[in-house]
Amino acid sequence: MSERAAPRVGVLALQGDFREHSRMIQAAGAEPTEVRTRTDLESVEALIIPGGESTTIGRLADLYDLIEPLRSRIESGLPALGTCAGMIFLASAVTEGTQPLLGVLDMVVERNAFGRQNESFECRLDVQGWDSPLQAVFIRAPLVDEISPDIEVLARHNGRPVLVGKEHILACAFHPELTDDLRLHKMLINLIQEQ
């Protein structure tokens, strides 16, 4: 019997820290694929929307006609992980202004709520179901302001949701790709195998 090929995990590579996520995906035992086109998107079994600048990611996704294909694939069951700006892009609304959003998670997010770049910080988070804390890096991180009751809060910082999940979608306000902890990336890969 032959082994199953490594799952192909796409990283939306329009802007942001997609290379760091690719490194983590490979270390977690999957094949990273940069996603810039509809064709790229069709070839992956899961997707990471990285941190960066959420309005830029949204505008570029709109410019390259990726909003509807991304929304459709995720709504159809494609496992997805959004980190920092990716969390914002997955949300249904932001507290101020307007920007292109996928709206696949029914929550309202405040951009840059944890402060400016020089107010970035690291902390340890207790994640529901994990045996040991996760080291989390917050850089101009978003804050979940409102959240639907059908979204599960997996970790909090100062009482506020910073890691959430709903079925096959995960979103976090921090940057797991800036640590050596592969558990969140493996969690995404496990969602592929559970389908």
Residues serving a catalytic function are 84, 175, 177
Q: Residue 117: is it exposed, middle or buried by C-beta count within 10 angstroms (0-12/13-18/19+)?
A: exposed
Task: List the one residue out of 29, 56, 195, 97 whose CA is nearest residue 12.
Answer: 56
Dihedral over alpha carbons 38, 105, 30, 18 (to 10 degrees): 70
174 token code pair? 């921090």
The whole-angstrom separation of Cα 151 and Cα 181 is 24
Give the count of beta carbons closer than 10 Å to the beta carbon of residue 99. Answer: 17
Q: Are 133 and 147 in contact (CB under 8 A)?
A: no
The whole-angstrom separation of Cα 141 and Cα 25 is 22
